[in-house]
Amino acid sequence: MGRSLCFPLVPDSTALIAAAQAAPGFMPSHEGLALYRAALAAPPVGPLLEVGSWMGKSALYLAAAAAESGTRVVTVDHHRGSEEHQPGWEYHDPTLIDPATGLVDTLPAFRRTIAQAGAEDLVVAVIARGETLAQLWNTPLAFLFIDGSHTDDSAQRDLRSWAPHLAPGGTLAIHDVFPDPADGGQAPYRMYRTALDSGDYEELDGTDSLKLLRRRD
């Protein structure tokens, strides 16, 4: 799948980056800009895909790259929050509880973020678990960004599910990679090490906790 798609009028990348910087979320601006640049530099062999969307902040950085390169961003998230977002955990936000179900629901906030940025024609949102969509997916990816649940089981599952869909020469981006346990959780770091130690990837220049790998041809 090449990057020759035609779109309705969408904001330019400058406006999308500004919207991303203003959107709710946990990604620092300098890492978001690095994500945008890495996605823009990915080979023109397919779409960009994000595992774990929260409220859409990183999706807009990817949308800015997609707007320039003529592709789309697919985001996959069940929108029920990760473990750390559940009641009683560190990052729980009670305003995100759906009173009808009693469960975390970030989908309304995500849709609002994407709509307010005018990016609905660039961002294709799939509401599902990542591994569920991966079983149905058959399009090579130019860029894969993994920023889902931060447990070892889920992080390794995301990598196993989606790495086979990354095209040769494509870029794998992993967020919240902290080699020092004092700086943050270790599941994304161990996922990163699993990918790098496989021999299937070469490391690119990352930015702080955003690590970048290129799948070998």
Domain range summary for the chain, segments of one domain joined by +: 15-215
Is the pLDDT at 207 greater than 60? The verdict is yes
Here the tokens at position 120 are 């609905």
Alpha helices (H) in the chain, listed in sequence order: 13-22, 29-41, 57-69, 107-116, 130-136, 152-162, 187-197
* Mean pLDDT of the chain, nearest integer: 91
Q: Which two tokens stand for residue 48?
A: 């960009």
* Positions marked active-site: 150
Give 186-206 pLDDT, tens digit per residue: 999 999 999 999 999 999 999
Residue 139: predicted pLDDT = 97
Q: Would you say the pTM of this structure is higher than 0.75?
A: yes
Residues 179 and 167: their CA atoms lie apart, in Å, by: 27
Strand partners, 202: 214
Per residue in 139-187, pLDDT tens? 999 999 999 888 999 999 999 999 999 999 999 999 999 999 999 889 9
Count of beta carbons in the 10 Å neighbourhood of residue 86:
14
55-66 pLDDT, tens per residue?
999 999 999 999
Whether residue 1 is predicted with pLDDT greater than 50 in this model: the reply is no
Q: Which residues lie closer than 8 Å to 197 by C-beta, 6 or more apart?
A: none
% residues pLDDT > 90 (the chain): 77
From residue 5, alpha-carbon distances to 73, 76, 138, 151 in Å are 12, 21, 18, 36
Fold of 15-215: Rossmann fold (3.40.50)
Are 57 and 108 in contact, with CB atoms under 8 Å apart? no
Which two three-digit tokens encode residue 54? 């929260």
* pLDDT single digits (tens) 75-113: 999 988 666 665 765 666 777 777 788 777 889 999 999
**30-41 pLDDT, tens per residue?**
999 999 999 999
Question: What's the pLDDT at 83?
Answer: 62
